[in-house]
A and B are shown apart, each in its own frame.
Chain A
Amino acid sequence: MNDDQNQTKAGPDKLRAALLRLEARKIVVPPRVDEAVLRAAREQMEPVAQEARVGARNKALPSESSWAALCAGVYGFFTVRRWAAWGGVTVTIVAVGGLVWLGGHPRSAARPEDLNADGVVDMLDAFALARELQLDPASHPQLDLNADGVVDQRDVQALAARAVSLERGGRS
């Protein structure tokens, strides 16, 4: 019985080896195929990653609106103390309610040019783009700012110019 089992067990090993030899043809995948798949992945992933980064930051920090609501709340509290009037109570309730509501709402989606995800498009992002393009020219396909079909040094310059104009006109 044991011999039978051993024999039977030896069988599929030989069969498996023979089948693997039959299937052993190795297809070499050209780099262009790898690049096409990974570029598509990068294009799809980038907005998700940006959103995740922004979401994490919003969770950690209260928004400007929340700070404003908090200040209004403090003001309302002192109004109550000073005037002991119902108006002050109303202001406090509205302000605290606003704080709770606004705190749970994310900021608007990050811009793709905001590479370091600090909420501001500035020269730091232009430097970051230049550095990342040196490492991987296909790393930011969505930043073809001059719409010439490639993301290169000219897009870095365009981003720098945009950052300067934004800084002059107020931060983004």
Chain B
Amino acid sequence: MVLDPIVDTGAESTGHTALADDAELVAAINRGSHAAFESLYHRHRDWVVNLAFRFTADEALALDVLQETFLYLLRKFPGFELRASLRTFLYPAIRNLSIAARRKAGRCQADDFENEILGSLPAPEAGVAGDEDLAVVLAKLPVPQREVLLLRFVDGFSLEEIAEALSIPVGTVKSRLHNALQTLRADPRSRQLLGE
């Protein structure tokens, strides 16, 4: 497979910079520090709720998922060990809780949720020319490719973090990202965003 310069040299992970601090907070929570949990909650709350909204496309469901996610994290204490970044750890939980929330709300069929979860991107910001086109092109991407693309460029995950979060090999992450970018390059509506 041809290496894609964007795939291989793109954005650096934001997770690594926060890892040390998160690890310290986790250690303090293991000792029973409520203040440390509060810090951790406020540090990741907005990311969690926005990610949940990406999966559910429903504000009330996203707020439910936010609560469930942190209650799930809370149940890991004491004795929780942070082996990767916290967001890498939380991502599958948010994804699964969102799927469960949508299923419970009757918004997706059990057999089809994989294709449904990323099915609705938020409406583009009004007045920004070209974003509507990008949304249309993104909607045509296969769900696994779109998920990797958003993790990489919106959430700032490294390739390794994406692999960890999705439990897939790094090579699969690279090929999904490469294919997604190829599709964007091939489409005249999104080509200019890749400097073509």
A interface vs B, CB < 8 Å?
Answer: 5, 7-12, 14-16, 18-27, 29-30, 33-34, 36-38, 40-42, 44-52
Residues of the A chain whose Cβ atoms lie less than 8 Å from the Cβ of B135: 22
Query: Once the chains bind, are B66 and A18 in contact (CB under 8 Å)?
Result: no
What are some 11 contacts across the A-B interface (CB < 8 A)?
Answer: A9-B6, A10-B195, A16-B11, A22-B125, A23-B54, A29-B66, A37-B41, A38-B34, A40-B70, A41-B41, A46-B32
Query: Once the chains bind, are B34 and A7 in contact (CB under 8 Å)?
Result: no
Query: Once the chains bind, are B194 and A33 in contact (CB under 8 Å)?
Result: no
Query: Once the chains bind, are A8 and B45 in contact (CB under 8 Å)?
Result: no
Residues of the B chain whose Cβ atoms lie less than 8 Å from the Cβ of A10: 195
Query: Once the chains bind, are A15 and B153 in contact (CB under 8 Å)?
Result: yes
The 4 A-B pairs with the shortest beta carbon distances in the complex, nearest first, are: A49-B32, A11-B195, A48-B32, A11-B194
Is B74 located at the chain interface by the 8 A CB criterion?
A: yes
Q: Which DSSP category, helix, strand, loop or mixed, fits chain A's interface?
A: helix
Q: Known contacts A11-B6, A23-B50, A33-B66; is A44 also within 8 Å of B195 by CB?
A: no
Q: Known contacts A29-B63, A49-B32, A52-B32; is A12 also within 8 Å of B131 by CB?
A: no
The distance in angstroms between the C-alpha atoms of A147 and B124, with both chains bound, is: 51
Query: Once the chains bind, are B153 and A52 in contact (CB under 8 Å)?
Result: no
**8 more CB-based (< 8 A) A-B contacts, given A23-B150, A25-B50:** A7-B196, A9-B9, A12-B11, A15-B194, A19-B134, A21-B128, A23-B50, A41-B34
Query: Once the chains bind, are B38 and A38 in contact (CB under 8 Å)?
Result: yes
Query: Once the chains bind, are B192 and A14 in contact (CB under 8 Å)?
Result: yes
B interface vs A, CB < 8 Å?
Answer: 5-6, 9-11, 29, 31-34, 37-38, 41, 45-46, 49-50, 53-54, 59, 62-63, 66-67, 70-71, 74, 77-78, 121-122, 124-125, 128, 130-131, 134-135, 138, 149-150, 153-154, 184, 190, 192-196
Most buried by B among A5, A26, A30, A33: A33
| B134 CB contact (under 8 Å) in A18, A42, A52 | A18
Query: Once the chains bind, are A22 and B6 in contact (CB under 8 Å)?
Result: no
The distance in angstroms between the C-alpha atoms of A87 and B196, with both chains bound, is: 96
Q: Known contacts A20-B154, A24-B125, A45-B29; is A37 also within 8 Å of B71 by CB?
A: yes
The distance in angstroms between the C-alpha atoms of A87 and B125, with both chains bound, is: 90
The distance in angstroms between the C-alpha atoms of A5 and B3, with both chains bound, is: 13
The distance in angstroms between the C-alpha atoms of A78 and B9, with both chains bound, is: 79
Residues of the B chain whose Cβ atoms lie less than 8 Å from the Cβ of A22: 121-122, 124-125, 131, 134-135, 138
The distance in angstroms between the C-alpha atoms of A8 and B122, with both chains bound, is: 27
Residues of the A chain whose Cβ atoms lie less than 8 Å from the Cβ of B10: 12
Residues of the A chain whose Cβ atoms lie less than 8 Å from the Cβ of B11: 12, 16
Cβ of B48 to closest chain A Cβ, rounded Å: 9
Residues of the A chain whose Cβ atoms lie less than 8 Å from the Cβ of B71: 37, 40
Q: Known contacts A8-B195, A41-B38, A49-B32; is A27 also within 8 Å of B122 by CB?
A: no
Cβ of A59 to closest chain B Cβ, rounded Å: 14
Cβ of B10 to closest chain A Cβ, rounded Å: 5
Cβ of B17 to closest chain A Cβ, rounded Å: 17
Most buried by B among A23, A25, A30, A42: A23
Q: Known contacts A11-B194, A16-B153, A33-B63; is A27 also within 8 Å of B49 by CB?
A: yes
